[in-house]
Structure 1
Amino acid sequence: MRKVLSLVLILGMAAGAFAQQESVSYHGKKISDKGAIPATQLTTKMNGKESLNTKVEGTVESVCQAKGCWMKVKTSDGETMRVSFRDYGFFVPKDIVGKTVVVQGTAQTTTTSVAELRHYAEDAGKSKNEIEKITQPEKALTFVADGVIVKR
């Protein structure tokens, strides 16, 4: 009887560990990770284009702490790309910093106004002093996602 209980306990723990390793969550449109390019290659793929429909895999650097209504994904050379969600139609968990994500949608080169940058800084929990230091619009690579997969 003890052997059977021990075996059941070991199998249960192994199944639980496996489930945690393979855990993913889907947000927005259900997508797959097939064909995703590394976020570090996105700038090269854009190659001067205004926009590009694509699928990208990268690591989350920060998330909106108000609602999970945007996130920043690491790209190349220590840069990040702000990812927003199509039509404000879904959000991501606020505790996914450091996790791998796959996003499918449209990469764009955009200019973000000072007011919007200050709003994002407020959402990120920046101090009033840090927010007031934002005085110039920012031209950067951004992404509007139709669907997101959060891995591990």
Structure 2
Amino acid sequence: MKKPFLMIAAVGLIFTTACSPAEKKTEESAKEQTEATEEVVEETEELTDSVHFGQMIDAEGALTIDEFASQMEGKDSMNVKIAAVATDVCQKKGCWMKVQLADGSEMRIRFKDYGFFVPKDISGKEVVFDGIAFNEEVPVEDLKHYAEDEGKSAEEIAAITEPEIKTSFVATGVLIK
């Protein structure tokens, strides 16, 4: 009768000893996971100040408007990432935005394949956009359409009678800070 009791006690002692380090490891592992989760949450909170539309981009390597102007000089088009302040946005859908160029003119940014839009209330906010800048002749019909999107009066729209040569941009991604 003593032997079965001793065997049961020995087996119980082995299980108790064997399980203790695992519990300790589990507690340590849980603590490490909690710390890692807290770090990710902190990093995510920093990133939530920015909102992406279209392709995911970051601000790294973005040119200022002045840098863009000097690099675009003498070219018909170029692939580029630019950081600027949005000056105007389509108030119907958010299907385009404008930024002011170094010479005081505005550049309209449209979104590739009409694939995404930006919020209509981002005027005055810093934006980063990536894509293709190019010089184009904007037809009268398009100029009138844009004027309508901007909420201009019928008289202002009727006064548009000539096409304009402008620097335009088709963005694949936009980051709003």
User: TM-score scaled to structure 2, two decimals?
Assistant: 0.72
Residue 52 (structure 1) aligned with residue 48 (structure 2):
no
Pick which of 68-77 and 99-108 moved more.
Answer: 68-77
Q: Cα RMSD over matched residues?
A: 1.5
Per the alignment, residue 125 of structure 2 pairs with 99
In terms of fraction of residues, the more strand-rich structure is 1
Question: What do the CA deviations read for 1:17-67 (whole angstroms, capped 9, x no partner)?
Answer: xx6996111000000110000123322111211110010000111000000
Residue 131 (structure 1) aligned with residue 157 (structure 2):
yes
Structure with greater Cα Rg: 2
Residue among 26, 35, 53 paired with 2:61: 35
Per the alignment, residue 29 of structure 2 pairs with none
Instruction: Compare relative contact order (CA 8 Å, sep 6+) and give the higher one, 1 or 2.
Output: 1
Per the alignment, residue 117 of structure 1 pairs with 143
Q: For structure 1, which runs of at least 5 residues remain unmatched after alignment?
A: 1-18
Q: Whole-Å Cα distance in 2 between the matches of residues 50 and 111 of structure 1?
A: 12
Per the alignment, residue 85 of structure 1 pairs with 111
Residue among 87, 90, 93 paired with 1:67: 93
Per the alignment, residue 25 of structure 1 pairs with 51
Per the alignment, residue 19 of structure 2 pairs with none
Q: For structure 2, which runs of at least 5 residues remain unmatched after alignment?
A: 1-44
CA contact (8 A) 1:41 1:76 kept: no
**Helix, strand or coil at the partner of 2:123:** coil
The one-letter code of the counterpart of 2:66 is T
Q: Whole-Å Cα distance in 2 between the matches of residues 141 and 110 of structure 1?
A: 6
Q: Whole-Å Cα distance in 2 between the matches of residues 29 and 21 of structure 1?
A: 16
User: TM-score scaled to structure 1, two decimals?
Assistant: 0.83
Q: Whole-Å Cα distance in 1 between the matches of residues 66 and 57 of structure 2?
A: 20
Per the alignment, residue 6 of structure 2 pairs with none
